[in-house]
Amino acid sequence: MTVVLTTSPGFGKHGRVPELIAEKGWELVRCTDTALADGGVSAHIARADYLVVGLIPVTAETLAGAGRLRGVLKHGVGVDNIDIAACTAAGLPVCNTPAANADAVAELAVGLMFAMARFIPQGHASVTSGGWQRQVGSQLGGKTLGIVGLGNIGKRLARLAQGLGMTVVATDSYPDTAYAAAQGIEMLELGALLARADYVSLHVFGGKDNAALIGAGALAQMKPGARLINLARGEVVDLDAVAAALDSGRLGGVAIDAYVTEPPAIDHPVFSHPNAIFTPHSGADTAEAVENVGLMVIEDIETLAAGKVPARCLNAKDL
């Protein structure tokens, strides 16, 4: 029997995915105990054929006891929590699921912009507490959205924002200039984008290269009163600097979906700020997106089982 370990809480639970796993006769083992560094993988890795990864890190130590493992598959896009070099050294293909959840993340970014623009959380809290505090918000049409990371998610967000009448500017380490020109998106350096944008939405990978990308210096470059959205990784934003910028009024609002430690320690002052909105790393959590990601993972497992290398394999040239 094929044994599939998963550290992703959502894998195998939505749409056609549970039925397909049952039809194939795979044993699905959930390793999602957040009290354990590896989610519990070490207790089962010796008999696993495939490891489907959520947010729990995959390191050389994770793989040390693997005897039958044939592949490491990310249930999502970002692979900054997977030691690809260690997987390659162990002869293990690493795959992810690009674009499968891009629409879901982009739609949440738009929702968070509306929530900040119209003070939706504050209005809800006012009514449910017996009050009636009306606040004059602003419209998104006519505003400028700065997208940091114009990949699959950023491109979808740009299309949605333009449909609302927003002007879109973007920055990217590897810019798709042809796409940007065709869609009327001006590509800028980060500093110029921060100075122009009314809303800044982050869609970059995590890791050391982007650690504290938005810190005190970057926040000082932002347009006064602008709002920030982080749907990337927790380390991309310096929360101390964000809290200070909110207190000073330099930053008009922030919406955060990703954290360095999940769940985060809410004793940090940013979590009590009235102009901050938080969601539990749920950017990709739609039934449609989770099903799409799961189907792509199953497809890649089947390809590996057939002795082939999936097209989405990230380390194919090094194996």
Annotated active-site positions, please? 233, 262, 281
Query: What does the alpha-carbon distance between residue 72 and residue 37 come to, in Å, rounded to a whole number?
Result: 17
- Comparing CA positions, the residue from 288, 269, 264 lying closest to residue 102 is 288
Q: For residue 39, report the phi and psi dihedrals to the nearest 5 degrees.
A: 75, 0
Query: What does the alpha-carbon distance between residue 72 and residue 94 come to, in Å, rounded to a whole number?
Result: 5
Amino acid in the structure at residue 100: A
Amino acid in the structure at residue 216: A
β-strand pairing of 71-74 with 50-53? parallel
Query: What does the alpha-carbon distance between residue 271 and residue 212 come to, in Å, rounded to a whole number?
Result: 18
Q: How are strands ordered across the β-sheet holding 226-230?
A: 186-187, 167-171, 144-148, 199-202, 226-230, 251-256, 276-278
Radius of gyration of the chain (CA): 21
Query: What does the alpha-carbon distance between residue 86 and residue 89 come to, in Å, rounded to a whole number?
Result: 5
- Comparing CA positions, the residue from 132, 301, 35, 104 lying closest to residue 112 is 104
Query: What does the alpha-carbon distance between residue 198 and residue 70 come to, in Å, rounded to a whole number?
Result: 47
Query: What does the alpha-carbon distance between residue 114 and residue 101 come to, in Å, rounded to a whole number?
Result: 21
Q: Report residue 85 as tokens.
A: 């070099």
Find all residues with CB under 8 Å of 196, minimum gap 6, and list them.
144, 146, 169, 188, 223
Query: What does the alpha-carbon distance between residue 177 and residue 183 come to, in Å, rounded to a whole number?
Result: 10
Q: Report residue 247 as tokens.
A: 């207190």
Query: What does the alpha-carbon distance between residue 217 and residue 237 come to, in Å, rounded to a whole number?
Result: 12
